[in-house]
Amino acid sequence: MSQALLHVSGVTKRFGGFTALNDVSLQLAPGERLGLIGPNGSGKSTLVNCLSGTLVNDAGSVEFDGHKLDGLPPHKRAYLGLARSFQLPRPFGSMSVRDNMRIPLMYTAAVRAGHQRSEKEIRERTDELLRMVSLSDKADARPVDLTQVDMRKLELARAMAAEPKLLIADEAMAGLSNAEVDDILKLLMTLNSKGISIIMIEHIMKAVMAFSQRLVVLVSGTKIADGVPAEVIRNDDVVRAYLGQ
Amino acid sequence: MTSVAKASIEPRAKGDPVGNGVFAALTLAVAVLFYAVIAVIGSEYLYFAGYVVLQFVVLATAWNILGGYCGYVNFGSAAFFAMGAYTTICITTIASEYAKSAVGAAIGAVPPGVLVVLMVVLAGIISGLVGLGMGYLTLRLRGVFFSIATLALSVVLQTLVVNWDFVGGSRGAYVIRPNEFPLLPGGFIAYLFVLMLLLVVVALCVSRGIERSRLGFGFAAIRDDEMAAEAAGVPTLRLKLIATTISGALMGMAGAPFPYYIGYLQPQSAFGLEYAVNAIAMPMVGGTQSWIGPLVGAVLLGSFQQWATVTISSVLNLLIVGLLLIFFVIVAPNGITGFFRDLIYRRRRSGGGSGS
């Protein structure tokens, strides 16, 4: 599958004697929406960290957009077009919402475009991104004054500022109300409609089912299912993993 | 990727009517004015006291580039300062020990006024390189582990110097400070004062230039959240190495004229606790997130220490610094400038004037 955007083959990650990921392989087509589910501790976030370069996998390899990612630090992976949001929002606390956007704009986006934006262009792009996540009226606020849902939006907007090809949204909806979940879901669909592939890691099944074109299930670090969502959730192994025998 | 690096020091437009060139000119003008006032008063004591305060402004500003902007607390400032001082000792010793050789004679022939400037440049290069090396060895450590490593570096360097007979070992070494200086009325001490004043201008321009540049935003991102910075594309290791290099170089430059000032340099005074403590305390008290904080902190604490030294006790002044540091950590953890910035931010938000 040379046309795949992301090609994960045989990724294994151990922490001491504990195998967090065991020979996980998966592929993602350009523009695809993939849901990644699994019980707590099944290795979802470990996989995200191996993809984004925060952790180094012990075996296997990751190929993204024709580039081997193995051994690259996170910022170099970002330069190739791989963006992530964090499970717990990690805003730059001393900066305003507006200046938070500046970091990916001045670094990843600039490297990807091959030139720095002018101050005016940075301002315009920031306004555009904040409008997209409806944070325009909070542009000058500090992250500490944001609500939980706004913090998630900032996290997504910051990931989007890097102009990625693939966005990995690690539990972008955890702890949000129903209406807020719909908000974020709509936002992710909008991003996808612009051609960005998205991997959504989520516990909220309603959102995952509405979002995903394909569903991958991890249990204890092993991939047990991969396919059309409606079929995957009827899969015996998956039901057993979630509900027990 | 290289084209981006070139644009590193591009001034920030938002709320920044003063460009880097204008700022340099303004700072220089203030420095000239400051010198003029001291020169008119004409007291030799003011040159001696002023020199120490200015030296702390450079040290605090240098510390802040790594400690304040990047959030990496360096306990080893004294080592970099001492490295600058011992660069001078090393070169002047070569001149006196090997006066008959070509190198020694050449150094001896350079007038002291010029030699000090050369020492400042050389010390900057050496300390910058050591900063780079230290960064490379220690910057994979985070938080308190990095700080401990810098402290260890300081101890290692002091041990080396104490056991290095050529630069005087534990006995120390003399540098003869000429009394006169042809161009300035106050003599050589006035010249050292002016030199340190110029270093302050350089340090402030560098510090402010960084703060408002792409580099400065990268530093701030590292300080706030290194993992998120990396994910946003900030090459964190490279930026931290740049910070340790610049910070180390400026500290070394501040130390280079010190042997001329003190006349007799011992390891205990060059590696003195007061440099490590003040370099941290002054930015903390003034505020660590902008160039102006270390300046405010160093001028306040530095002047206060000079005053306390002559009026109360020369031993007591570090105690006072310690108490003030505790006070600020509790009452205004973001320092004086941070306190006012937070106040303005809160006012603006609760005022709700900006359409929120």
- Segment-wise mean pLDDT, segments of 10 residues, chain B, 356 residues: 39 59 92 92 90 96 96 93 95 88 86 91 96 88 86 92 90 84 84 95 96 94 95 95 96 96 91 90 92 95 88 78 86 89 85 48
- What per-residue confidence (pLDDT) applies to A40? 86
Q: For residue A4, is it within any domain?
A: no
Q: Give the ipTM of the model, two decimals please.
A: 0.91
Query: What value does the mean pLDDT of chain A take?
Result: 91
- Is the CB of residue B30 less than 8 Å from the CB of residue B256? no
Instruction: With CB atoms and an 8 Å threshold, state whether A79 touches B10.
Output: no
Q: For residue A2, is it within any domain?
A: no
Instruction: With CB atoms and an 8 Å threshold, state whether B4 touches A90.
Output: no
| pTM for this entry | 0.90
Residues contacting B36, CB < 8 A, separation 6+: none
Smallest Cβ–Cβ distance between B218 and the set A107, A116, A119 belongs to: A107
On the question of pLDDT at A39 being above 50, the answer is: yes
On the question of pLDDT at A1 being above 60, the answer is: no
**Distance of CA A108 to CAs A43, B190, B300, Å?**
27, 49, 41
Tell me which residue range forms the domain holding A74: 12-243
Residues contacting B281, CB < 8 A, separation 6+: B297, B301, B321, B322, B324, B325
B1 neighbourhood in chain A, CB within 8 Å: 79, 111
On the question of pLDDT at A149 being above 80, the answer is: yes
Q: List the domain boundaries for chain B.
A: 2-351
- What per-residue confidence (pLDDT) applies to A123? 94
pLDDT level of residue A31 (50, 70, 90 thresholds)? very high
Domain count, chain A: 1
Instruction: With CB atoms and an 8 Å threshold, state whether A99 touches B356.
Output: no
- What CATH code is carried by the domain that includes residue A84? 3.40.50.300
On the question of pLDDT at A88 being above 80, the answer is: yes
- What per-residue confidence (pLDDT) applies to B6? 38
H or E segment to which residue B181 belongs:
none
A167 residue type, one letter: L
- What per-residue confidence (pLDDT) applies to B17? 63
- What per-residue confidence (pLDDT) applies to A233? 85
- What per-residue confidence (pLDDT) applies to B16? 58
Instruction: With CB atoms and an 8 Å threshold, state whether B356 touches A111.
Output: no
Residues contacting A30, CB < 8 A, separation 6+: A3, A5, A165, A195, A197
A166-220 pLDDT, tens per residue? 999 998 888 888 888 998 999 999 999 999 999 999 888 889 999 999 999 999 9
